[in-house]
Structures are given as C-alpha cells and as structure tokens.
Amino acid sequence: MESIHYHFTQIASKYGDLRTTDEEPILFIRELLEDRPVIRAADIGCGVGRYVVRFFHHFGNRLYLACIDSNECMLDTLRSNLTSGRIRNFSVIRARAGAIPLPSDSLDCVMTFNAVHHFRLMDFLEESSRVLVPGGFLVIYTRLRSQNRKNIWGRYFPGFSEKEKRLYELDELKSAIKKVKPLKLRSIEFFRFNRTATLEELLRRAANHHYSTFHLYEEREFAEALEGFERNVLRTVENPGEVFWRDLNVMLVMRRVKPQA
C-alpha cells in the first residue's frame, strides 16, 4: 500500500492528462438520480477529480459532493482543478474508503470510479451502506480481471495482466455485496469503448505509469516490458500512427433498502 501511495503522489500533477474519463457511466448515474432536486453524494477514491468535474457539469448546483481520497497530493490537485473551474459545492476529505468520516444516513449516492481494487472491499461496502440514506445508491465502476486481459495492455504489455491481481471478477463482487444486508444489487451494466491512439502516445502513457499496475514492476523489468510492448504492437498493427483497441468496463449499481416498518 505504501508503494501505491507513493505512485499516486508522484503522478498527481499529470494524472488527469494521462487517463481517460468515460462519459457514459456519468450519464447513466445522471438518469439514476434525475428525480432528486438536491443530490448529496461522495466520490470515494476521487483522485484528481476527473469524474468530479464531469458530474458538476451535468448536475450543476443540485450537487453537493464530498471528494474523498487517501492521497493528499491527489486531493491538492483536485482542489485546484475544481476552484479554477469555479466549482464550489464540494468538500475535500482525506480518508480511507473503509472509514468514511461522514454521518450515517446522509448521502443519496456513493460512487467510485476505477478505484475499488485499492480498497478493503468489505469495509468499503459496509461504510457505504452506513452513510447512504434508505433508497440511496452505491455505484461501483471498474474493470474486471478478465476485462483487463483483453485491453491493449493486457494483450501486448508483457506481464501486465499477471501482475494486476488486485482487480475482482464479477462473482467476487456479487458475493461480497450479498454479505452486506442493507445493500441490494439493482443492476449490472457493461460498457465497451473503442479507443485509438498513436503508438508514441501509448508509450508516453505507460512511461508515465498512467496505470498503477506499472508501479508493480521493478525498474529494469519495466524498461524491458516497455520495449516488448512496442515490439508486440509493431508486429501486430498495420498503422502505428492509429492503434485501435477496445476497453471493457462494468458498473454495479446497488441500493440501500428501506428498513422494514
């Protein structure tokens, strides 16, 4: 955990430039919450606020958002991003996902994007259930281990899918959710994104460790794997100036059930 914390500290200032923010899950959550005139929510593992900014774009002043992350450098960058965008209805909280410092029954929605594999899952689910109002939603957006093997890094970057053991499979997530009685799984949504980038851009992202998986490599091992990735892509794709691949993601939507009368 200390190694990953160091990774996010090092990458905070450039993280927003390196990662892709998917609009489709944001639109799905907007529909989920569209009947609520005021939305009190939390983004757990919010990082530099890539998804936070997009949510304020869609919800405007209806949204009051707690931005929660354990890394102070990521939160400093988030704070700067939001204030420069004249966004005000937010609070910044340094905390772990398994100990959310918010009152019980206080939130309409708890969200996490591409971060749940960094959490202690059961603690996160229990805490999310506690802070949600009855009828509130918990939304987990992530990629599964099997999906990770199919993206461009899993296919072409040596050791990538083997090293990334933190990700879950769907049955593991469903089993954990079932143990938290106030939470009921409402739906599972699958997303597929067609991506393109130049090989040069892909090498730049990897060299800057845009996935924390790359921090699991030793320095020399990573350098050799990066060269192997370049060779694999050049051997496989017709045009290194336009490399095509598909990213797969999944969203689990849970609802805190109302207590029996």
| DSSP-derived secondary structure letter, 45 | T
Q: How confident is the model at residue 259 (pLDDT cuts 50, 70, 90)?
A: low
**Bigger pLDDT: 199 or 53?**
199
- Across the chain, mean pLDDT equals 91
Average pLDDT, integer, range 202-222: 92
Q: How confident is the model at residue 118 (pLDDT cuts 50, 70, 90)?
A: very high
Q: Contact at 8 Å (CB) between 212 and 7? A: yes
Residue-wise pLDDT tens digits, 145-188? 999 999 999 999 999 999 999 999 999 999 999 999 999 999 99
Burial class (CB in 10 A: 0-12, 13-18, 19+), 191: middle
Which backbone phi and psi does 3 adopt, to 5 degrees?
Answer: -65, -45
Q: What angle do CA 118, 169, 14 make, to 5 degrees?
A: 35
Query: Residues with Cβ < 8 Å from 47, sequence gap 6 or more?
Result: 8, 15, 69, 71, 74, 78, 115
Q: Is the pTM of this model over 0.75?
A: yes
pLDDT of residue 140: 98
Q: How confident is the model at residue 20 (pLDDT cuts 50, 70, 90)?
A: confident
pLDDT of residue 50: 86
Residue-wise pLDDT tens digits, 32-84? 999 999 999 999 999 988 899 889 999 988 999 999 999 998 899 999 989 88
Query: Residues with Cβ < 8 Å from 257, sequence gap 6 or more?
Result: 134, 182, 183, 184
Q: How confident is the model at residue 29 (pLDDT cuts 50, 70, 90)?
A: very high
35-38 — which CB contacts under 8 Å span 24+ positions?
Answer: 36/62, 36/108, 37/62, 38/62, 38/64
User: For residue 4, how far is the Cα from the chain centroid?
Assistant: 15
Q: What angle do CA 252, 163, 229 make, to 5 degrees?
A: 105
